[in-house]
């Protein structure tokens, strides 16, 4: 029956539609907070670190839309991005002899970051994107400053706005 909407889609729509009239203000101001924080971070950073900045955008999403989630905790945000920075930097030092080796090194950076984050209890999924970005572009003091300062700014925003933030997922 091509005209029939599956039940799971109806339930999902009703969940979204049911929450929107109640939480629409939260949707707007929490999205606005995320945009402002990312704007501030981008003012502080150099746009040559675009690959790393993409993972910071993912962190802003988690911090502002899932503030009670364990991965939004400041120690996990900061610690996870530092682990991503370190694992990506170490993998960037490995010589690359072919495109296949380069891809393998990028994958290794992600794998190492995941292993370290889980083992050290600093799980923050976007930080694996930091590892990937740093492994791809290489380490520089600018990248280090970008990663650490942006994770600190996002953690401070989370800390000071936590009373006003609700889980929107």
In a domain, residue 71? The reply is yes
In a domain, residue 1? The reply is no
Q: In this predicted structure, what is the pLDDT of residue 79?
A: 98
In a domain, residue 63? The reply is yes
Taking only the tens of pLDDT, the chain with its 169 residues reads: 466 777 777 677 666 666 666 777 888 888 998 999 888 888 877 666 777 788 999 999 999 999 999 999 999 999 999 999 999 999 999 998 999 999 999 999 999 999 999 999 999 999 999 999 999 989 988 889 888 989 999 999 999 988 888 888 7
Q: In this predicted structure, what is the pLDDT of residue 19?
A: 64
Q: In this predicted structure, what is the pLDDT of residue 90?
A: 97
In a domain, residue 53? The reply is yes
Q: In this predicted structure, what is the pLDDT of residue 50?
A: 75
Q: In this predicted structure, what is the pLDDT of residue 168?
A: 83
Which residue range forms the structural domain that includes residue 134? 7-161
Q: In this predicted structure, what is the pLDDT of residue 25?
A: 83
Number of folded domains that form the chain: 1
Q: In this predicted structure, what is the pLDDT of residue 16?
A: 64
DSSP count for the chain of H helices, then E strands:
6, 0
In a domain, residue 21? The reply is yes
Of residues 31, 46, 43, 37, the one with CA closest to residue 144: 46
In a domain, residue 167? The reply is no
pTM of the model: 0.83
Q: In this predicted structure, what is the pLDDT of residue 43?
A: 81
Q: In this predicted structure, what is the pLDDT of residue 121?
A: 97
Measured CA to CA, the distance from residue 15 to residue 27 in angstroms comes to 14
Residue with tokens 């933030």: 165
In a domain, residue 129? The reply is yes
In a domain, residue 169? The reply is no
Do 32 and 113 meet the contact criterion of CB atoms below 8 Å apart?
Answer: no
Q: In this predicted structure, what is the pLDDT of residue 60?
A: 94
- Report the sign of the C-alpha dihedral through residues 109, 111, 78, 167, in that order: positive
């Amino acid at each position: 029956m091509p005209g029939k909407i599956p039940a799971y889609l109806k339930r999902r729509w009703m969940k979204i539609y049911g929450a929107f009239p109640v939480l629409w203000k939260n949707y707007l101001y929490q999205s606005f907070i995320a945009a402002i924080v990312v704007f501030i971070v981008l003012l502080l950073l150099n746009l040559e670190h675009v690959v790393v900045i993409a993972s910071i955008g993912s962190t802003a999403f988690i911090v502002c839309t899932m503030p009670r989630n364990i991965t939004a905790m400041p120690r996990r945000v900061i610690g996870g991005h530092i682990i991503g920075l370190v694992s990506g930097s170490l993998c960037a030092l490995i010589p690359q002899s072919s495109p296949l080796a380069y891809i393998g090194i990028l994958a290794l950076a992600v794998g190492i970051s995941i292993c370290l984050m889980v083992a050290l209890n600093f799980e923050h999924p976007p930080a694996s994107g930091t590892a990937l970005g740093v492994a791809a572009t290489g380490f520089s003091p600018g990248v280090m400053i970008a990663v650490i300062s942006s994770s600190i700014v996002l953690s401070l925003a989370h800390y000071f706005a936590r009373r006003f933030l609700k889980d929107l997922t």
